[in-house]
Chains A and B, each alone.
Chain A
Amino acid sequence: MRMTAPSEFPAAQPGQFVMVRVNDAIDPLLRRPFGIFDVGVHTPAQTGAASQPYLEMLYRVVGKGTGMLSALHDTDLLDVLGPLGKGFQLGAPGEEKIIVGGGVGLAPLYLLAKELVKQSPVRLFVGGRTRDDVLCITEFERLGVECYVATEDGSLGECGLVTEALIRRLAACDGTPRIFACGPHGMLNAVAGIAAQRNIPCQVSLEGYMACGMGACLGCVTPGHHHSNETPDYRCVCADGPVFDAAELKWEA
């Protein structure tokens, strides 16, 4: 979904998100967080008038909020708060960049890839249960990103988990690449484990149930590396993330 944005929006960092109020009613009541898929500017030549910043979100219709979003018309106004949160650290130019995504987890990875291809070779590993989970490959290919697809049922790309293809690539890779991942928690857990084992820098973008998006409600917390009940070490996905260095979070064994 693409919308016209205020003039500050093109400065959004890859990995940041927005909180969207779908309508003015009280049901749904809360805003919904969406990763920023892309930002850009329509030139005067394209619009026939002034240059016009735009913002794109990628979403899948799953509930009431996304259902209403999909029913919006071209001229409707949308109440959007953002850009919020901390985005990806791009790393040094020249080193290989590996992006791992699953499902709508690809949302914040497109803007990232767009920035990364300016300075490094970029490979994208996309996983899903079936081909329906695999989105936007063409858009990434158009950026010049090399794409590998794996589905658990073999309906698209390789049959199996995307992490298997990732491990093969890491074995073949010269030098130390840098990993960026966003997707289902199980996938991120596996990718973080693979990166930790090989001492590879890895950033993950998390999702969380959140009400405010700015660190006040504490709904979206995730445990940090030193977390225990006696010494709470919680990070807010919204304000401390959504992008974290995988090594600073506590992952399941």
Chain B
Amino acid sequence: MKPDLSVSIAGLELRNPVMTASGTFGYGEEFAEYVDLATIGAFVTKGLSLRPRAGNPTPRIVETPGGMLNAIGLQNVGIDAFIEKKVPFLRSVATPAIANFFGNTIDEYAELARRLDAIPEIAGLEVNISCPNVKQGGIVFGTDPQCAFQVVTACREATIKPLIVKLSPNVTDIVSMAKACADAGADALSLINTLTGMAIDLERRRPVLANITGGLSGPAVKPVALRMVWQVARAVNLPIIGIGGIMNARDALEFILAGATAVQVGTASFINPGAAQEIAEGMEKWLAENGVEDVKSLIGALEA
């Protein structure tokens, strides 16, 4: 018998729990040649702001053992160009597209939520309160529960679409952040974003990244992400999307055991553009081999 991989998260019906993470899959088009988008649960577009953003100077990327640091700085086309140039592609795709967005102020967050709410091709919204690579906005909202509450409240009032809040791991207490977002009306939480790190060029005695620090992603962050998903899942009654170093089906299933309803694949897509598709296929195979009929039976089923 074919195992059931479908899950429902924040009102979104997904054919399987595998999504692609914001910033790692462009606006969908970039990978369409390499991945059959209809094989993945959903994809999340590159973070959007009201106006186009240039991002940080290069070098913006450096590899570290088991991971990579990036300091792209939220380069994006802005909401107007997104609607004009990127949304038409989404019309042809039979997979839910989730728009990730961020603002410099609470008003900007609300304005973006309002504008995205009006786009029928967008199935859900992911609020980014957790980018570590910009000085203004972003991380401020993602590290103070009160600020997070205000941002999410404003977005909640601006949209009736599924509202997901993406949390930063760069906090002392992820559970209090998660609770604040839940209290403000979030439909789901995605965690984690990247961990702030840095890399140094010893000979040149300089930081490798132009921005000095960057966000660490890849297999190196998986244990931290698993721990945070597990902590939040036990404390907050909202569906969770687990993110952090997922490279294969086993990694994804570990997040589901820890309490995630779905997962997002990020860095793995850079190495293998078909990673999300292969992970979904690998999950189905694992479930079949292990006699699990429904992936939902594994959500939070960790015996601890």
Taking a contact as CB atoms under 8 Å apart, the answer to whether A221 and B270 are in contact is: no
Q: Is B3 engaged at the interface, CB distance under 8 Å to the other chain?
A: no
B70 contacts A219, CB within 8 Å? yes
Interface SS of chain B: loop
For residue B245, give the distance in angstroms from its CB to the closest CB of chain A.
9
CB–CB B66/A29 < 8 A: yes
Contacting pair A29 B67 (CB below 8 A) = yes
Give the number of residues in A that approach B within 8 Å (Cβ atoms).
29
Task: Flag if A222 contacts B58 (CB, 8 Å).
Answer: yes
Verify if B31 is at the interface (C-beta below 8 Å from A): yes
Q: Are B58 and A220 in contact (CB under 8 A)?
A: yes
User: How far, in whole Å, are A212 and B31 apart by their CA atoms in the complex?
Assistant: 10
Residues of A with C-beta under 8 A to B25:
216
Contacts of B23 in A (CB 8 A): 217-218
Nearest chain A CB to B87's CB is how many angstroms away? 18
Asked if A129 is at the interface of the complex by the 8 Å CB criterion, the answer is no
B21 CB, nearest partner CB in chain A, Å? 11
A31 within 8 A of B: yes
Does the CB pair A227–B54 fall under 8 Å? yes
In whole angstroms, what is the CA distance A231 to B269 when docked?
Answer: 29
Interface membership of A90, Cβ < 8 A: no
Total contacts A to B, CB within 8 angstroms?
A: 93
Known: A209-B62, A219-B60. Is A30-B72 also a contact (CB below 8 A)?
Answer: no
B282 within 8 A of A: no
Task: Say yes or no: is B273 at the interface (Cβ < 8 Å to chain A).
Answer: yes
Min CB distance B277 to A, Å, is 15
B46-81 contacts to A (CB < 8 Å): 46, 52-55, 58-63, 65-68, 70, 72, 75
Known pairs A211-B68, A214-B31, A216-B31; A29 contacts B60 (CB<8 A): no
Q: Are B60 and A218 in contact (CB under 8 A)?
A: yes
Expressed in whole angstroms, the Cα–Cα distance for A116 and B263 within the complex equals 50
List of B residues within 8 angstroms of A215 by Cβ: 26, 30
Q: Which of A29, A31, A208 has the largest count of B CB atoms less than 10 A from its CB? A: A29
B218 an interface residue at 8 Å Cβ cutoff?
Answer: yes
- Chain B 9-23 interface residues, beta-carbon cutoff 8 Å to A: 23
Q: Are A30 and B63 in contact (CB under 8 A)?
A: yes
Say if the beta carbon of A8 comes within 8 Å of chain B: no
- Rounded to whole Å, the gap between the CB of A70 and the closest CB of chain B is 18
List the 4 closest pairs (A to B, CB-CB), nearest first: A219-B61, A232-B54, A211-B270, A212-B270
The contact sample of 9 A-B pairs, CB cut-off 8 A, is: A26-B219, A30-B68, A214-B30, A216-B270, A217-B72, A218-B72, A219-B58, A219-B59, A232-B75
